[in-house]
Structure 1
């Protein structure tokens, strides 16, 4: 891969260079050559390293800092057909003040909802600094015409979404139609643009449980980053397996290598199945070891979760008071 010269590049929403990979994305054949030319993932080595990192433990002050950081990284999520405005307002309240009894507890990163609930979430969160994320593009299946996906995205942005979580067309990806997937991500990113020239951040969901191999996860990661995604995200949370440590390791290595090659940072969001503080800390250890402290920030690493926050709060209370709160001490989401 060779980047084009600066004189031929152009910036799209959020200042992403849309021409940097023009030579790679000129055709399906060139894109296929590039993606299949990426180094293969050693499955045994990847899983062994992930398992080893998962055995690390941190104590006392470092653990307390990790719990607070993990809370700040949570995208508190409700994506059910029975969602109501009342439920979304309650979730927004919890995101702003996760532990009402402790004003030192940090706020969550975002509230993630369906597009029709964006306005409700935005109104409830006000100027708190907690973002509104909206799933779009026929989430979770991605099975819709492109014009419908783009309309879905624009509606969410117009309603005030700060972030858009889109799903790729796994059918297209798995049958090797990489350019179609690339162009769809580019189109959705352009639909994230606002009239003032800013843009909602775009998170690209792979549904790694359907991608079958770590090599496919690496290829999807590079495809999404070249198309201008601000974040790459493991899963919708609707398919198992969802987020795993080995899959996240592959994605972290991809963003590390992409930054080394292009100078651009891309965030990572594991989502689905992360339920305990112990699990969250394993991911934070992995982030620190694989990509470093630059990514230990809610701007660059998130947890997509609906139940994780309560366990983080219970562990935090234990460290603060010396005793566990009851399981019903915090609201259920």
Structure 2
């Protein structure tokens, strides 16, 4: 596997790539999309054993994973203090002595993701860091509030300083194959985001089949999504390798047909450093080096960072420390 040099500065996707302005809904294209579930599952099952990186190479990949994390807190008991502590961790994700030993001073996460009510708190806490704030929106996690309220929520979050908006789609449109309704709603949400970068959450665990996942991916990209994201983290099943393979191949096809690069964000259930390495290697294999950068790839995670920090400490010192020494705040 090719060595990847971790980046020390992060840029918003819209600053380094042309925005996905979308296109007219092509129902023939959507109808022609299929997903060979058994083949996808066989390919996904081989992934954890197909790539192995060790020593300095593994440390470099783990630092890259940190730069691609949307450090997240989406709990009903979130407080300003918790968000401020999370933002401090985003600024300094790994102990300074470990980063100095690795030559990675200045490493930060990709973004901080919070509910709308905590956007202003996070923006203040991250002032001057260059780390953007992402807000989950549109009636997260179910996406069942009236459309005008979902659009208004996007506008409020953008006004509060969110530079990335994670919207949730209406799953019922996918389950009933109402692609026009899904396209129209997503298109309006994209317009409401304005200059903010939009990630469309498909809630793949509730879509029934991989074919539905693939078709929903295409429709959201046609509607102008800058990223497509697996899950809210609140579903019974969140990010999986078969779903990831399905979505990133849709991204590849969309790039090949339109020339536009759309990002990918797996979220929910990714908590181990070894899992992050599998996802990064899959992105590298299927889409190439541009998609292992934070402008086109993000992990939606919180506990993942703690495990990566433990692995980096082991790399530097030769000893593992307790997980509670690497808390999020």
State the TM-score, normalizing by the size of structure 1: 0.89
Residue 48 of structure 1 and its aligned partner are, at CA, apart by 1.2
* Residue 46 in structure 1 maps to residue 47 in structure 2: no
Task: Find the aligned partners of 2:214 and 2:19 in 1 and give their Cα distance.
Answer: 24
Which residues of 2 match residues 271-290 of structure 1 at below 5 A?
271-290=267-286
Task: Find the aligned partners of 1:245 and 1:54 in 2 and give their Cα distance.
Answer: 10
Task: Find the aligned partners of 2:231 and 2:46 in 1 and give their Cα distance.
Answer: 23
Aligned counterpart, 1:81: 76
Which residues of 2 match residues 74-113 of structure 1 at below 5 A?
74-102=69-97, 103=99, 104=104, 106-113=107-114
**Root-mean-square deviation over aligned CA pairs:** 1.3
Aligned counterpart, 1:175: 176
Task: Find the aligned partners of 2:55 and 2:221 in 1 and give their Cα distance.
Answer: 37
Are the counterparts in 1 of residues 87 and 122 from structure 2 also a CA contact under 8 Å? yes
3-state secondary structure, aligned to 2:70? strand
3-state secondary structure, aligned to 1:328? helix
Aligned counterpart, 1:11: none
1 or 2 for the larger relative contact order (CA 8 Å, sep ≥6)? 2
Residue 332 of structure 1 and its aligned partner are, at CA, apart by 4.1
Residue 15 of structure 1 and its aligned partner are, at CA, apart by 4.8
* Residue 190 in structure 1 maps to residue 191 in structure 2: yes
Which residues of 2 match residues 253-332 of structure 1 at below 5 A?
253-332=249-328
Are the counterparts in 1 of residues 89 and 328 from structure 2 also a CA contact under 8 Å? no
Residue 162 of structure 1 and its aligned partner are, at CA, apart by 0.9
Task: Find the aligned partners of 1:100 and 1:313 in 2 and give their Cα distance.
Answer: 8
Aligned counterpart, 2:3: none
Task: Find the aligned partners of 2:188 and 2:303 in 1 and give their Cα distance.
Answer: 33
Task: Find the aligned partners of 1:300 and 1:62 in 2 and give their Cα distance.
Answer: 21
Aligned counterpart, 1:225: 221
Task: Find the aligned partners of 2:217 and 2:145 in 1 and give their Cα distance.
Answer: 22
* Structure 1 segments unaligned to the other structure (5+ residues): 1-13, 25-30, 194-198
3-state secondary structure, aligned to 1:58? coil
Residue 57 of structure 1 and its aligned partner are, at CA, apart by 1.2
Residue 99 of structure 1 and its aligned partner are, at CA, apart by 2.1
- Say which structure is richer in helix: 2
Q: Deviations over 1:33-68 (max 9, x none)?
A: 431212x21111111111212212111222111100
- Counterparts in 2 of 1:326 and 1:35: CA distance versus 1, 3 Å: same
Residue 321 of structure 1 and its aligned partner are, at CA, apart by 1.3
Task: Find the aligned partners of 1:16 and 1:130 in 2 and give their Cα distance.
Answer: 22
Instruction: Name the count of aligned residue pairs.
Output: 305
